[in-house]
Structure 1
């Protein structure tokens, strides 16, 4: 019998089983996919619940709605000066910290002492650097100086130079005689104004104060009061006026909210003219700085000088760690001297002008200051630097002036080196942090009657010495932290001697045709809108004035 083929029934059964197995496998795969998908959804759901249970991420400080790319630059340019626009904006938002985006930069303005301490103390390391700015780069000759250079080796080098050498106690004491000469010259100059029949006792206090500061720092740096011969009355000549005007122009435009500081590629166009103005001012200043610097360097190279007499000599003779090369280049010396100049002339002169204006309008305060000077110093000699620790009321008047009437609206800006949470706010990396001097000093939450000139508020008790700095940052006279002002001793000495000499040596009243001094602020900065013009009369015995005239 022929062999038969396998049963077709068995083949059908195998195929059927195969199909069943495939269906089971597909079903299992579908269930596995469903399980995995369900698990993933569950994990995501649990993650969302976990996130919702945590504290929300900090937000940027309040601020205006910004345009794409340019941020709030158009509004800033339309509402000059920028510092008044920022302060008005913060008042409108009722906030002590604000975030204004200018170009791609977040500018953080602060008027809170607590937040200021967070920035400059708690998070000091994060905010220890400086942002780039056209004005700062030009003034510092490419970020070669202490105050304007970003954190890094150059900053460390110049900090050591300034703290350990230029502003050391040794150098401060060695230049004491030069400061005394200028304090005497100040009294001699004002006394001549009193006796000049053309002046009729009317004195431009701003002129006297600014040029006292400039004369003093020129004497300390270059060893000379004047670049030229000066005026016949002992006042500044054409050269000195041009020099001081250049310094104050640099101060006005330093970190002055230039467009290129926030959109760097626009620098070449210089739309707001900041770059041109700063370059011209630097040219006017260096016209007087460079010749004596070059002359002095040649004198040392040729062996024509062997003793250090001033700060310029000191800077020239600093040596590298191996003592084989000069530590500083000519570019570094030139740039640092400009920085020293602008750091010296502004705050003491502005604080004294405002303080004397306020005191003339409140004769009882002026009388108390005179009484303190008569008690501590007497009337048979002029006040000296050694008297300063005992002149608490004079220093309280200055501190009150620094509090209400700072010349600069903000401190030199700090930049954030990384993202950080400060006071519950998100501060992005690269933010420019500006502490507001008037915002802190006039903060009504901190100060009683913040706009009233009350020196007594700074005197805790008779045994405590008044310091011109506030470590709690309720006001900002001299900055603190890693980028704090190392020249506090020199700055406070210049300020105190200037006001004390003017008050001790002269009686002050409004000009004869007025009853009160106009205390309106300038539109460009926080100085007096009009220079303080006041009537002065000698207050001490004539022999004291004759003695300094004969010296």
Structure 2
């Protein structure tokens, strides 16, 4: 006879399979008529676990998902993982329907082990689920932190870091003759955002040559690790009862990142809160805020009390730091790799800088509107070589119909950065690096944003990136200063740069290391 346990398992499996079958269709009222809508196509899920085993076996999961979609030639799919429908999208038209036409339905974020850890249990604006706390922090960012007036206010700090970039590369030229552009671009971005948030490049004494110390190296590494693991298909995100077992090693990495952030951030933040809040004479003595941390601390509510708790200040400061480092550095490293293999592209970019800026001064942010070809190179790098396979996930707050498919409440929507940018129905020769495709005419300005979602540089919609102006400035100045200030060539015995992607993410398989020689008058290199 069948045992009670076996009978119970068989009954459970039958119920799950029946549930999955029923969920393939949904009766929805459309203009007074009933109509059945199927789920997007996807692999047949296993009972209970869905596609979790395939996700674990096929690392990185993002590549497996996109490969599966390519094989069956679909621009939208549904992968069931546990009880969650994960819906990737590679078509701009469908992407716009999610983020523009029905943006209010897909405005939330998933809960996850890493998101909870990095947001201080969802006290921030970017990765917190939809709710009153998100609304509060979103208002703080849009009105006080990432706004045109604040961007202008922080201009000089960004300019100093652009000068330090040139100084650091110049010193590497003189001492080594070679420059590791992965380290250089990442630490430039880390320097910029630390200056904007904490008004300091270094956590400690620093170095005279402008390079990072061990603290800044660990800080940037933690920022990139945190972004890589933020929504990385952690098994416990789909099966919460597994939290603590760390079956895929994600929890250890996340805890190490949080430990680094606390070690480096909290002494600065605690001291600053003490200065502004415990000493009431600070403001009366005429002291002015110097950075974004001061702004967060000084915000007041309608009763004149601090708007943000110390915990909210710490969490939001960390999120701002996380949000600024990966996109510009990755785009510029890839752009330089593509361009060094085709020297005519660097020549054309340098000619534009000479025409717009000349050789008697360094590129400034005020030059950005005229640097069309430089921006076209950056746009092409964002299109062809995105930093991550998917955009930050969106979560459906209710059942919806998109592109003729039923999207159940709670579904995770993943816009594929890689798939959108390489969609052959949208882009001619999608695998070729062709900056000129982004230059429409002499009168139309080239911008790094892409509101039509043909690729993703800075996302759109209510959950879109609100710091596109900062991201543009960092990306263009980084690329332009490198090209203007130095002659670049391949290392000895290297005929071409290998453009293969890493096995683990979408960065170059090997960091880009190039020969560099200063090419401007000596007085233009900051000493």
Matched, 1:80 2:56: no
SS class of match (2:136)? helix
Question: Residue 230 of structure 1 contacts residue 238 of structure 1 at CA under 8 Å; is this kept in 2?
Answer: no
Give the aligned partner of residue 414 of structure 1: 394
TM-score, normalised to structure 2's length? 0.92
TM-score, normalised to structure 1's length? 0.88
| Deviation digits for residues 490-549 of structure 1 (CA, Å, limit 9, x no counterpart) | 01111110000000001111112212111110111101111110011111112212xx21
Give the distance between the partners of 1:276 and 1:189, measured in 2 at CA: 34
Alignment of 1:475-490 (within 5 A): 475-490=455-470
Give the aligned partner of residue 307 of structure 1: 288
Matched, 1:211 2:192: no
Give the aligned partner of residue 397 of structure 1: 377
Instruction: After TM superposition, give the deviation of residue 246 of structure 1 in Å.
Output: 0.8
| Deviation digits for residues 358-384 of structure 1 (CA, Å, limit 9, x no counterpart) | 010111111110010000000000000
Alignment of 1:271-286 (within 5 A): 271-286=247-262
Give the aligned partner of residue 99 of structure 1: 78
Question: Which consecutive unaligned segments of at least 5 residues does structure 1 have?
Answer: 1-53
Question: Residue 401 of structure 2 contacts residue 407 of structure 2 at CA under 8 Å; is this kept in 1?
Answer: yes
Give the distance between the partners of 1:218 and 1:85, measured in 2 at CA: 36
Alignment of 1:284-433 (within 5 A): 284-300=260-276, 301-302=278-279, 303-304=281-282, 306-323=287-304, 325-433=305-413
Matched, 1:149 2:125: no
Instruction: After TM superposition, give the deviation of residue 304 of structure 1 in Å.
Output: 4.6
| Deviation digits for residues 159-179 of structure 1 (CA, Å, limit 9, x no counterpart) | 111010011112111111111
| Deviation digits for residues 367-418 of structure 1 (CA, Å, limit 9, x no counterpart) | 1100100000000000000000000100000000000101111111001111
SS class of match (2:333)? helix
Question: Residue 230 of structure 1 contacts residue 240 of structure 1 at CA under 8 Å; is this kept in 2?
Answer: no
SS class of match (1:219)? helix
Instruction: After TM superposition, give the deviation of residue 231 of structure 1 in Å.
Output: 3.8
Instruction: After TM superposition, give the deviation of residue 234 of structure 1 in Å.
Output: 2.2
Give the aligned partner of residue 424 of structure 2: 444
Instruction: After TM superposition, give the deviation of residue 55 of structure 1 in Å.
Output: 7.9
Question: Residue 167 of structure 2 contacts residue 209 of structure 2 at CA under 8 Å; is this kept in 1?
Answer: no
Question: Residue 165 of structure 2 contacts residue 210 of structure 2 at CA under 8 Å; is this kept in 1?
Answer: no
SS class of match (2:431)? coil
Question: Which consecutive unaligned segments of at least 5 residues does structure 2 have?
Answer: 1-32
- Indicate the RMSD between aligned Cα atoms, in angstroms: 1.1
Question: Residue 130 of structure 1 contacts residue 415 of structure 1 at CA under 8 Å; is this kept in 2?
Answer: yes
Give the aligned partner of residue 440 of structure 2: 460
Question: Residue 228 of structure 1 contacts residue 240 of structure 1 at CA under 8 Å; is this kept in 2?
Answer: no
Give the aligned partner of residue 116 of structure 2: 137
Give the aligned partner of residue 472 of structure 2: 492
Question: Residue 130 of structure 1 contacts residue 148 of structure 1 at CA under 8 Å; is this kept in 2?
Answer: yes
Alignment of 1:81-230 (within 5 A): 81-196=60-175, 199=176, 201-230=177-206
Question: Residue 105 of structure 1 contacts residue 430 of structure 1 at CA under 8 Å; is this kept in 2?
Answer: yes
Give the distance between the partners of 1:69 and 1:353, measured in 2 at CA: 43
